[in-house]
Amino acid sequence: MKKICFALFVLTSLQLHATEGMWIPTLLGAIEDDMQAFGLQLSADDIYSINHSSLKDAIVHFNGGCTAEVISKDGLLLTNHHCGYSQIQYHSSLENNYLKDGFWAKTRADEVVNPSLYATFSVRLDDVTKQLLDGVTEGMTASERAAIIAKNEEKVVAATLEGTTNLDAFVRAYNYGNSYFVIVTKDYTDVRLVGAPPSAIGKFGGDTDNWVWPRHTGDFSLFRIYAGADNEPADYAPENKPLQPIMHLPISMDGIEKGDFTMVFGFPGRTEQYLTTGAVEYVVETANPIRIHMRETSLEIIDAAMRSSEKIHIQYAAKQSSISNAYKKWIGQNNGLKELNAIQKKKDLEKAYMELAKVKGKQNYLNALESLTKLNEEAKDLKLSRDVFIEYFFYGPEIFGFARGFDGIIKNYAKLESEGKLEEQIESLKSSTASHFKDLHAPTEKAIFENLTALYFDYMPQAYFPQEMTDFKTKNKGEMGRMLKSLYGKSVFANEEALNKLLSNPSEKAFAKLKKDPAYALYQSLFNGYLRDVRPEYSRLNNEIDEQMRVYVQGLAELFPNKEYSPDANSTLRLTYGKAEGSAPVDGMAYKFCTTADGILQKFYSGNPDFDLPADMISLLEEENYGRYAHTDGELRVCFTGSNHTTGGNSGSPAINGKGHLIGLNFDRSWESTMSDIYYDAGRCRNIMVDVKYVLWVIDVYAGAGHIVDEMTLVWGDEAAETETENQGELTPIEAVSQ
Ligand code: ASP
């Protein structure tokens, strides 16, 4: 019973420290009073309900990573520029450079289709802790427990989905398995690009300003969800119609003042607040320095290549961003954890925990922490081999991931043929081949291979070094020149023409031969080496660690009932709230809570790719042509900070005021907050949001795309906003989904 109540316990114990915490939307009742004391004018039920439309019906998980919100009766979606970046990049060419010039669909017919982009609504979340733990008893091993939970999970998902259509369901553990929720979702797969500002606005400040305040980035882009004639999910078809959503967010035209209530509603990805000393030491002393070094190495190569040509700039823009974002965050994270003495604080906490557990005779809590210390020590090399593998395979040379895409046809040609799926597979490979080579600059790829392979050899722990990689090195006499030649000189995966020939004249024999292709063989070595030597043991240890963490966090909550605990982020819908406020993280310096358009001109630096501006933007700002988007003081506000507890995945989340109206779009955290995933400090952690009135100004005044603003619901003062779609006032048949 104690375990089941953990989430609720956590909510009540936290009422005095409201700004820390990512709250489960079904449990907001317990903190409703505190939120209202902060300035919320709505009830918990207005935010999350399954009986009538609520704010949650306007929030989507964007492509499984970011957040977006519905802002019109016609399914218009607002998210970050950096969340739509790979789609914007995908559609960009030297002739139509949407990255550089922006893109605005003049009519619905101009909205651009995005293969494989999807938007997921969370239809409902239900606590299923009791069902999941049915049959679990004290004293079970981690794997016995996991096996029972997995079976129960299957049953819960099947029961949840019975009699439904177009819905999906999955179970997520919270607090390391102290509670479980089943989450019912609905995926829309026809999501089209509607608008994006030039990168000079959407990415203004570039890598220099990323994770930094003060900020002047118009980090937004617009998409639209399309549905079939019945308003239900449908794959792309020209006749699909804009989604008529259950709910869309009205937009506040009142602006925001310091101290105003703010909440951020979205899909925070991952936090690790409860890591114990050994695990934090691993991050600070081992993982971060190595990952930073590997990424710095590829960024040096990519940045130089991007500066040298516009074509390469387009080719590598999205890849560069995905490498540099975490790279810079990890640097800030290490600084912050050291500055705040996080490791020593963890040690102190654990010492106090042990003492209290002893006094109270809680042997299970003592055992859990002792086991964690041992397990974290034991897991070090395994974790490192996994981290190095991920950095090399997924963020290093692209040839391996590309060859991996051909695995199916190489191994199962006959099966695909007999099942009539061969043609579809070949078409999809032709298209992935075209996009791979469209965005590949061979010298850059080779330079990345050369430099990152050397780091892979240096950093991969000997105990987990795949024998095949050693053989590859030995065969090439350890010489990089030979390795490069034997891979890129001989592999069909480095030769677009040869590969297209093969795809145009496919045969089982020809594809079977590729098993010996050097890039394919090396991908297999790397990947299989990981699957064979690392993953099973890593999973086993990880399960054991999670099991001990479950007891440890339960112990924390029981032993220190007056401290702050909230479930770590796990990519599910959460709400966090706080105030619009600045911070003073550094001695002698205070950050204001908002920035204005004046700062854009102050930062403007012609010829510097991070701070250059289009000429028409400069003249509009110089004229102070702010139209109806000016704040009451006549300024055009650009970004603001708040004390909302956010993380990656909250990118694109709506910032909402006390009335439930959109005031901004979350996109980042300040430099001094980058450690907050591991160690949150309410005094200095601030999330960064772009002011929605600046977003509207860019769309309307700068881009002349006022027709897009016209479909939004703008509200002034206490005006009531009509936000439900007429024929959709009632929810889709989720009532049918019962536990
Ligand atoms: N900038 C972040 C991201 O890319 C958002 C955050 O972590 O606060 O997801």
Total domains in the chain come to 2
State the pTM of this model.
Answer: 0.93
Torsion of CA 452, 457, 459, 462, to 10 degrees: 160
Residue-wise pLDDT tens digits, 363-396 = 999 999 999 999 999 999 999 999 999 999 999 9
Atom of ligand 1 lying closest to residue 646 CA: 8
CA contacts within 13 A on the Cβ side of 448: 30
- Domain assignment of residue 302, yes or no: yes
- Domain assignment of residue 367, yes or no: yes
Specify whether 265 is located in the same domain as 299. no
Residue-wise pLDDT tens digits, 246-305 = 999 999 999 999 999 999 999 999 999 999 999 999 999 999 999 999 999 999 999 999
The answer to whether residues 552 and 178 touch, using CB atoms and an 8 Å cutoff, is no
Specify whether 534 is located in the same domain as 449. yes
Residue-wise pLDDT tens digits, 392-410 = 999 999 999 999 999 999 9
Where a domain ends, among 530, 554, 578? 554
Residue-wise pLDDT tens digits, 644-701 = 999 999 999 999 999 999 999 999 999 999 999 999 999 999 999 999 999 999 999 9
Confidence check: pLDDT of 423 > 50 = yes
Q: 648 CB under 6 A from ligand 1?
A: yes
Chain position carrying tokens 């030769």? 495
Residue-wise pLDDT tens digits, 106-138 = 999 999 999 999 999 999 999 999 999 999 998
The answer to whether residues 342 and 675 touch, using CB atoms and an 8 Å cutoff, is yes
Domain span including residue 84: 2-118+189-272+568-738
What is the 3-state secondary structure of 148-172? HHHHHHHHHHHHHHCCCCCCEEEEE
Q: 646 CB under 6 A from ligand 1?
A: yes
Q: Which of 66, 85, 669, 676 to mutate to test the pocket of ligand 1 (most atoms within 8 A of CB)?
A: 669
Nearest Cα to Cα of residue 718 among 649, 658, 640, 628: 658
Specify whether 514 is located in the same domain as 645. no
Q: What is the mean pLDDT of residues 549-558?
A: 96
- Domain assignment of residue 30, yes or no: yes
Confidence check: pLDDT of 10 > 60 = no
Residue-wise pLDDT tens digits, 442-483 = 999 999 999 999 999 999 999 998 888 899 999 999 999 999
User: 472 phi and psi, to 5 degrees?
Assistant: -60, -45
Specify whether 536 is located in the same domain as 638. no
Q: What average pLDDT does the chain have?
A: 93
- Domain assignment of residue 517, yes or no: yes
- The gap between the terminal CA atoms of the chain, to the nearest Å, is 19
Q: The domain spanning residue 578 has which CATH number? A: 2.40.10.120
Confidence check: pLDDT of 739 > 60 = no
Q: 266 CB under 6 A from ligand 1?
A: no
The answer to whether residues 174 and 180 touch, using CB atoms and an 8 Å cutoff, is yes
Residue-wise pLDDT tens digits, 141-157 = 888 999 999 999 999 99
Which pLDDT score, from 0 to 100, does residue 725 have? Answer: 56
CA contacts within 13 A on the Cβ side of 207: 18
In the chain, pLDDT over 90 holds for what percent of residues? 90
Catalytic residues: 82, 219, 651
Residue whose CA is at the smallest distance from ligand 1 atom 4: 648
Those residues with Cβ within 8 angstroms of residue 90's Cβ, 6 or more apart along the chain or in another chain: 114, 318, 435
Q: 583 CB under 6 A from ligand 1?
A: no
Residue-wise pLDDT tens digits, 48-81 = 999 999 999 999 999 999 999 999 999 999 999 9
Specify whether 489 is located in the same domain as 580. no
Nearest Cα to Cα of residue 338 among 725, 678, 577, 699: 678
**478 C-alpha to center of ligand 1: Å?**
40
Specify whether 422 is located in the same domain as 485. yes
Q: 668 CB under 6 A from ligand 1?
A: yes
**648 C-alpha to center of ligand 1: Å?**
4
Specify whether 595 is located in the same domain as 696. yes
Torsion of CA 79, 85, 87, 90, to 10 degrees: 170
Specify whether 238 is located in the same domain as 322. no
Those residues with Cβ within 8 angstroms of residue 337's Cβ, 6 or more apart along the chain or in another chain: 280, 283, 284, 343, 675, 678, 679
Which pLDDT score, from 0 to 100, does residue 564 have? Answer: 66
The two tokens of residue 613 are 């501006």
Confidence check: pLDDT of 733 > 50 = no
Residue-wise pLDDT tens digits, 95-106 = 999 999 999 999
Nearest Cα to Cα of residue 59 among 49, 50, 69: 69
**202 C-alpha to center of ligand 1: Å?**
15
- Domain assignment of residue 634, yes or no: yes
Specify whether 240 is located in the same domain as 306. no
Chain position carrying tokens 């960009």? 92
Which pLDDT score, from 0 to 100, does residue 735 have? Answer: 30
**650 C-alpha to center of ligand 1: Å?**
7
73 vs 735 pLDDT, higher one = 73
Atom of ligand 1 lying closest to residue 673 CA: 8
Where a domain ends, among 521, 554, 587? 554
Nearest Cα to Cα of residue 274 among 371, 350, 385: 350
User: 248 phi and psi, to 5 degrees?
Assistant: -135, 155
- Domain assignment of residue 617, yes or no: yes
Specify whether 441 is located in the same domain as 521. yes
Nearest Cα to Cα of residue 62 among 221, 168, 251: 221
Residue-wise pLDDT tens digits, 288-345 = 999 999 999 999 999 999 999 999 999 999 999 999 999 999 999 999 999 999 999 9
Which pLDDT score, from 0 to 100, does residue 717 have? Answer: 86
Nearest Cα to Cα of residue 118 among 61, 183, 56: 61
- Domain assignment of residue 162, yes or no: no
- Domain assignment of residue 42, yes or no: yes
Which pLDDT score, from 0 to 100, does residue 16 have? Answer: 45
Q: Which of 647, 672, 680 to mutate to test the pocket of ligand 1 (most atoms within 8 A of CB)?
A: 647
Where a domain ends, among 554, 589, 607? 554
Atom of ligand 1 lying closest to residue 329 CA: 7
Q: 175 CB under 6 A from ligand 1?
A: no
| Alpha-helix runs per DSSP H in 612-664 | 615-622
Write the DSSP string, 280-341. HHIIIIIIHHHHHHHHHHHHHHHHHHHHH-HHHHHHHHHHHHHHHHHHHHHHHHHHHHHHTT
**676 C-alpha to center of ligand 1: Å?**
11
Chain position carrying tokens 């909230």? 566
CA distance 493 to 518: 9
Which pLDDT score, from 0 to 100, does residue 723 have? Answer: 67
Q: 189 CB under 6 A from ligand 1?
A: no
Specify whether 733 is located in the same domain as 676. yes
Specify whether 30 is located in the same domain as 105. yes
For 697-731, letters b (16+ CB in 10 Å) and e give bbbbbbbebeebbeebbbbeeeeebebbbeebeeb
CA distance 78 to 665: 8
